[in-house]
Amino acid sequence: MQLDIFEHSRDVMLRNDVLLALEQHDATRSRAAWQTLHQEYAQDESLPALLTLTEALEARARQALQRELFADHPALRRARLALQDATAPAALRLMGQMGAALWLRPFWQDLAQRGSHLPFRADSEQDHAAPMLLQMGDWQGALDAVARIESWRRIPAPLAWMTQAKLHLYGLQATWGLLAELAWLSPNRLDALVRHAPEPSLQRLKDQFDAEFEAASDPTDAAAELSWFPAWLLTERPQLVAALAQAQASLHSAPEQAMRLLVNLLGLERQGRHHDIVRQRKSLRDLNPWLYGAYMKTR
């Protein structure tokens, strides 16, 4: 019985030797430890994942010697997919979510650096430095990478990246304007961003919006509904008027017009301009009766 325990502890020890070398990013020692484990326990279930990470370390060591930039977007895509589809799952299995994220950080950094010269392409948006910097939690680096994209504020993916980076760097209050622009330009990206936002209050507000809102145009289209989120916010949180008013002109869609109307209405109310208030309220009612009702509930 004691012999069985000893034999069992031997494979654990060898497996831990590989993991320790991996955690220290020591490719040579990791390969040697893996070979020992393979020779003594060829059926060990962790061998394939350990080999995947060992080979990733070896490839990274070779690339460090070459210091080559990616030749084009397809080259970056191949490296990204290898990291995303093979290396990352193996790291997650062996190290857990937090350990894998920390271990993978240098790999994402390498990809971002080697691809930093490649311009943004809408048909290959994930093959850009910004989303890779976001993946590793380098918020300032991602912000800087997006800022170099021409007209980033008019393109859904870069706008979402910038919003995510600023949300982490500066918080929710400083990001409301960008969140509004993203709602109008790409509500589905806003939905994805909210689910992973560092501010729990943002998800709570969206949950409340989802529960209450009935889009006048197409109540079955959840993504379209979310474009009304900024306007609805002003019926629920009028104190956000200054922050949301910072949103730049976007598509001039009905949801954007509604938020602009509410910004104006709140200003007119403070000034007591009754005639103008009546006219603006009629415009809001014509634009979205449900939103008008939400606004009037507090009047």
For 163-196, how does the pLDDT look when each residue is reduced to its tens digit (9 = 90+)? 999 999 999 999 999 999 999 999 999 999 999 9
The pLDDT of residue 3? 34
Nearest to 156 by CA among 146, 145, 167: 146
- Cα dihedral 173, 178, 182, 188 sign: negative
- Can you list the alpha helix ranges (DSSP code H) found in 24-84? 27-40, 47-66, 73-82
**Residues 135-143, mean pLDDT to the nearest whole number:** 96
Give the model confidence (pLDDT) of 79-107 as tens digits: 999 999 999 999 999 999 999 999 999 99
Number of CB atoms found within 10 A of residue 271's CB? 9
Confidence of residue 68 (pLDDT cuts 50, 70, 90): confident
- With 70 as the cut, is the pLDDT of residue 221 above it? no
At 67, is the pLDDT very low, low, confident or very high (cuts 50, 70, 90)?
A: confident
Identify whether the C-beta of residue 25 lies closer than 8 Å to the C-beta of residue 87: no
Q: What is the pLDDT of residue 39?
A: 97
CA distances from 227 to 221, 251, 297 (A): 11, 11, 21
Domain ranges of the chain: 152-299
Cα of first residue to Cα of last residue in the chain, in angstroms, is: 79
Q: Using pLDDT thresholds of 50, 70 and 90, give the confidence band for residue 299.
A: confident
The string of pLDDT tens digits covering residues 239-298 is 999 999 999 999 999 999 999 999 999 999 999 899 999 999 999 999 999 999 999 998
Q: Which sign, positive or negative, has the C-alpha torsion 154, 158, 161, 165? A: negative
Query: Alpha-carbon distance 34 to 95, whole Å?
Result: 16
